[in-house]
Amino acid sequence: MADLFSDEWMKSFMEHWNAEPELSDALAQIGFNSVIGYGFDGETAPKGVLVVENGKATAAGAFDGQEMNWDIRASDEQWRKWMSKPPGMMGLGMAFTSRKMKFVVGDYSAMIKDPRMAKPFIKSFSVMGRA
42-57: per-residue pLDDT in tens? 999 999 999 999 999 9
- Helix, strand or coil for residue 90? helix
Assess if residue 119 is contained within a domain: yes
Instruction: With a cut of 70, say whether residue 62 has pLDDT above it.
Output: yes
Assess if residue 43 is contained within a domain: yes
Answer for the pair 61, 10: CB distance below 8 angstroms, yes or no: yes
Among residues 44, 37, 27, 96, which one has the least CA distance to residue 67? 37
- Over residues 100-107, the mean pLDDT reads 93
Instruction: With a cut of 60, say whether residue 112 has pLDDT above it.
Output: yes
Nearest-angstrom CA–CA distance, 57 and 33: 9
Nearest-angstrom CA–CA distance, 91 and 56: 26
Tally of domains within the chain: 1
Boundaries of domain holding 82: 7-128
Among residues 130, 7, 19, which one has the least CA distance to residue 63? 7
- Band of residue 110 on the pLDDT scale cut at 50, 70, 90: confident
Assess if residue 83 is contained within a domain: yes
Give the bridge partners for 61, in sequence order: 49
- Average model confidence (pLDDT) for the chain? 93
Instruction: Write the CATH number for 62.
Output: 3.30.1050.10
Assess if residue 2 is contained within a domain: no
Instruction: With a cut of 80, say whether residue 1 has pLDDT above it.
Output: no
With a threshold of 0.85, does the pTM exceed it? Answer: yes
Nearest-angstrom CA–CA distance, 79 and 35: 19
Assess if residue 1 is contained within a domain: no
Q: H-helix or E-strand containing 37?
A: strand 34-40
